[in-house]
Amino acid sequence: MTEHILVPVDGSRPATAALEYAHERFPEDRLTVLYVVDPMADYSRERSYPGYTSDDEFKTEHEKGEAVLETARERLPDDATVEIALEAGKPPRVIVEYADDHDVDAIVIGSHGRAGAVRYLLGSVAEQVVRRAAVPVTIVRGSPEDES
C-alpha cells in the first residue's frame, strides 16, 4: 500500500536533506512537498509596522516559495510521485493541518530552517510539528556545517 509522505521545505540545506531522505526512504510512495508562506514573518527590516507583511513582501515570499518548490521538484527523479503545495499561515500549524486534511501518513522535516537569527528559536517549527502531529514525524539533520 502506498503511503503519503509530507515534506515541508524552505530552501534550507536541512530541508533539502529531508527531501532527499524522504525519497530514499519512501521511493515508491507519494511525496507532497509543502512550502508555507508566513504572513507574519519579518521579511523586511524596513517597514514601520512590526509583525505586518505588506502585499509586496507577501507576493515576493510567495514567488520565492514557488521557486523553492520548483527546485525541490527538480531534485527528484522524473518517475517519482510528487505533488507540490504552497500554503500561507504559521508554519507549524499549517504543516500539521495539512497532514490532517490530506491523509498524510508521515512527515519528514528538516531540523531547522533558513533564517539566521531565527535558527536559535528554530527547531521550533520541527519541535512544534513533532508535538502536534497525529502522524509519525522524522527530523532530518543537514550536513555538519549547517550546525555552526
Query: CA distances (Å), 122 to each of 67, 115, 119, in order?
Result: 23, 9, 5
Residue 137 reports pLDDT greater than 80? yes
Give CA–CA dist 123/96, Å, rounded.
15
Q: Domain 4-147: which CATH class?
A: alpha beta
Domain edges within the chain: 4-147
List the single range of 19-23, 39-43, 137-141 with lowest mean pLDDT.
39-43
List the single range of 16-20, 58-62, 120-124 with lowest mean pLDDT.
120-124
Residue 63 reports pLDDT greater than 60? yes
Residue 42 reports pLDDT greater than 80? no
In the chain, pLDDT over 90 holds for what percent of residues?
67
